Amino acid sequence: MEILIKAARIVDESKDFLGDLYIKDGKIEDFGEDLNYTCKVVDGQGLTLMPSFIDLHVHFREPGYTYKEDLDTGGLAALRGGYTLVNLMGNTNPICSSMEIVEYVLKRGKELDLVDIHQVVSITKDFDGYTLSHLDDLDERVKFISDDGKGIKSNIVMYKAMIKALEKDLTLMIHAEDEDLTPIDYRISENIITIRDIYLSKETGARLHLCHVSTKEAIEEVRRGKAQGVNLTCEVTPHHIALWDNDYKVNPPIRTKEDVDALIEGIIDGTVDAIATDHAPHTGEDKLKGAPGLSGIETAFPVSYTSLVKNGKIDLKKLSKLMSGNPGKIMGVRKGKIEKAYDGDVVLIDLDKEILIDSQKFLSKGKNTPFNGMKLYGQVMMTIKGGEIKYSNKDL
């Protein structure tokens, strides 16, 4: 399978030029100016070509909660958002605490052939907060472990989990929350676990990835930890950098303008490694009952582009690094850059296209979003995975 994209603005974390890109046998074969190959040609004039996006933090709800989302609708939503690789959290039903669930998800994902999938396994068995014995049974297909949605309160359990992760070459993805403190002060709840886990990572050498960092104090702790050489990465979400003083229910909550400014400063100075969606689709009924989370994978690029690039905070190369280059590096895949022999996963975007967010048109089953009715910029026009067009906007 071959495809040639002509006359696009080509941008990744290290380049920005007008030219062409040629994909052959699923890989980037060539890029430059005035390329000529006898194959399918896509006219990229007026559009920006970037490496497709990689989402480190997604909930597709299968197995067990497919009334909220499933691998099919989640995959379609991801492609519409410009994503070709997703990292699925384990808070399914049953909770992903075994290779049996991993194998089910990977097999189903392969059958659907929409996006590439990595399945995260729980740190503690069935999120019980204590049991780690299931980690001995994991094979090399598992790269990340997380109890996302729940914090691990026990210091000794987290210490032992880090020792085990070091032994198994796993990265711990941490939901920093002390649920005993949350009803008293959600800020302290996030900050105290952030401090603890960075310290334990420093002492053990375990690889730590902090999910959805949301407070000014937490981002400062990340900055300090990195300066001390801690084996540490972190992500922020589009909604935590675009919204403030907003009571839309997410976990962690949307914070203050001061926190948003601190997160953006962390993006600018490199403290923040990645933008991840924490895509968490729910039914309308579940949201009314107080379920935290939003359906974010279809709006992530326009929210991030409008908030960061359009507003002059960073350039497009930096955004590519946050949404593609660094996530690819963290996941250990040859994706996320425009380089020869990298996977031919790219996205074509109309940066000048104004979008009116209408959640009823989401491909995700989850229509829950605080961005409904907002005007943003940056329309995904086409998503190509391995040289195959997986999504095309009808306006192209």
Q: What residues are annotated to the active site?
A: 278
Handedness of CA 296, 302, 307, 309 (dihedral sign): positive
Which among 121, 119, 62 has a CA at the least distance from the CA of 86? 119
Round to whole Å and give the CA distance between 302 and 274: 16
End-to-end CA distance of the chain: 21
Contact 281, 86 (CB under 8 A): no
Residues 370-373: contacts with CB under 8 Å, at least 24 apart = 370/239, 370/243, 370/246, 370/248, 370/254, 370/294, 371/239, 371/242, 371/299, 371/303
Contact 21, 28 (CB under 8 A): yes
Q: How far is CA 386 from CA 170, 333, 344, 371, 390, in A?
A: 27, 13, 4, 31, 9
Phi, psi of 206, rounded to the nearest 5 degrees:
-65, 150
The first and second tokens of residue 317, run together, are 């190369």
Round to whole Å and give the CA distance between 299 and 348: 15
Round to whole Å and give the CA distance between 69 and 302: 22
